[in-house]
Structure 1
Amino acid sequence: MRFARLGPAGSEIPVLLQNGHTYGLTPVTTDIDSEFWTTGGPDRVRAALEAGELKAVDDAESLRIGAPIARPSAIVCVGMNYVAHAAESGSAPPEVPIIFLKPPNTVVGPYDDVQIPRGATKTDWEVELGIVIGRRASYLSSPDESMDHIAGFVAANDLSERSFQLEISGGQWSKGKSAAGFCPAGPWLVTPDELDHRALSLRSWVNGEPRQDSNTKDMIFSVEHLVHDLSQYLVLEPGDLILTGTPQGVGFSGKFPYLVAGDVMEIEIDGLGRQHQKFVTGEVSAR
C-alpha cells in the first residue's frame, strides 16, 4: 500500500494512492501517525477500500504534498553506512552502527523550500532510505524479528550543515543536522510488501547535475540489522523514523560545491518517488 498526506502545512489529510486514484482516509483515520499503526491502520484501510467506503479526493493534484508521516516521536539516523561514503569522509567503515538524532520538527514535505541556516557555509545533501516503525520495538531477539516492526519505507534527504556538524559541534553531529526543514520526506510511504528494500537505487542531483548514484544493497548494516541493533539501546515507537545512511557523492567529499540559496536539490529512490527542494535565504513559513 502507498500512503501520503496532502494539504497545507499543519492541516494535511491522509490519503491512499491506489491504481492511479487518490482516496481520502478520513473515514478510517485522522492522520498517518502512531495511532494509525498501533490500531491496524493498513488492514482497516484495505477493508474500507473493499467495502467502497473510501472516496476519491477530486482536487488531489492541486494540493500540496506533505511528508507522508505525521511528526514522529524520534528521528534516529545512521552515519557512514556505505563503505564509499565512509571513505570519502576520511573514515574506516564502522564496526557497529553509528547513530545520531535529528529533532522531529525537521520533517517537511518533499517539495517544500528549505532555508539555508543562518551562519551556514557548508550545507550538504544526503539521499537516504527511511524506515518507519509500525510496532514498538525494544530488545528484539534477532534481526529476523525486525520486519514485523516496520510499517514502511520513505525517501528522505538528511540535510546537514557541515560547519555546525564538525567544526563547532562539541564532539557530536546533531548540531549540524537539526535546522528547520532538514528532513524532507516523501512523497509517499510504501509498505514492505510493495518493494524489495534490499536492492533500491538511490540517486541525487543538484541543479540537474548528478551527485549520488548507489544502491541499498551496498549498505554496511542492513535494514534488519539496524532495527534490531537500535532496539538494544532505545525504544522505537510506532511512527518513528530511522534514516539508514547515505552513499558517496556528497559535498563533504570535496568534489562538489555545497548548497547555496537558489540551488535546487533532487533525490530519488526506486519505488519511493522523487523529491526536490529549492534552497532559500530568510525565514521559511512554519510547517
Structure 2
Amino acid sequence: MHLPSYRGRFAPSPTGPLHFGSLLAAFGSWLIARQAGGKWLVRIEDLDPPREVRGASGEQLRTLERFGLVSDEPVLRQGERDAHYRQALDRLLASGDAFECHCSRSDLAGSGGVHRACVAGARRADPAIRLRVPDGTRIGFDDRVQGAVTQDVARDVGDFVLRRADGPWAYQLAVVVDDAAQGITEVVRGADLLDSTPRQIFLQRRLGLPTPRHAHLPLVLDADGRKLSKSLAAMPVDGNDPLPALRAAWLALGQQQAWPACDSLPMALDAAVRAFESDRIPRTPPTALAALHNAAAIDAA
C-alpha cells in the first residue's frame, strides 16, 4: 500500500478532557502535517485502565472535531492491539534482547531506579519484562524544535520496562509498534516526552523498525512554572468557542503573523496552514495563562 510522504499523529491518553497543553500538541502536529500535504492521525493511548476516565476518549474526539481537527483515518486504540505488542515482545525475548526481571522498585532504589543487573535471589510471581541496554549505548537525534539531543541510555535509563509486572504494556513498546504500524514519518508531541525518545529509537533499532523524525513542542506551563496537566490551571478548552483557544495556541507556537481574521473556523484553519512557520516554534513558550491573556487582549482589541 502506498503511503503519503508525511504522516503525523496526535495521541492523547483518556485520563480527562483536553486542556490547553493537549490542544497545543494537537494543533501543532496538525499544522505541520497539513503544511506538508500529509495525513494527520489520532491514536488513543488507553494502556492503563486504572487511570482511564470513563467516556474521556469520546469527549476528547468530540472536542477535537469542534476545533476542526479530525483524524484522516480511523482512530487507532491501543487497548485493542494486545496481539501486536505480544508479537513484538516475543521477538525480543527470542533474540535475547528482552528478559524477565523480578526486581522490585525497592530493589532498585539504591541506583535511582536505573536497572543494570537483576538483584540476586529476587523472585516474584509476576515479573516485568525489560529491554536489555548494553553498556555504552548512546543515542542521538536532531529534533526539529529542540535541536541536537544525545542520551547515554545505559547510564541514564538502564534496562527499561516493556511490560509491567502488573500486566499492562509499557508506553515505550506500544508507541514504537504503533508508530511503525501507522507509517508515522514524524512524531510531533510535547517536550515532556523528549527524554523517552532515545530509548524508543534504540527499541526501533532492535525491532528493525524505521525511526521517524521528531519535533518536541514546548511544554505549556502555568504561572508557577508547573506542567499544565498537573496544574489547577488545566481547565478544559471550550470546544463550543474554539477560536480564542486556537489563537492562544498560535501565539504559544511562536507565530509572529497575526492569527487569521476569519470568523469561520474552516477559513481560519486554512489561512493558518498557509501562514504557519515551524521554524518559529520556541523551545520555551509563554505560560499558558500569559498566552490565554494575550489572546483575550487580541479579541478585545
More helix by share: 2
Fold conserved between structures, TM > 0.5 = no
The structure, 1 or 2, with the larger RCO (C-alpha pairs under 8 Å, 6+ apart) is 1
Name the TM-score, length of structure 2 as normaliser: 0.21
Bigger-Rg structure (1/2):
2
More strand by share: 1
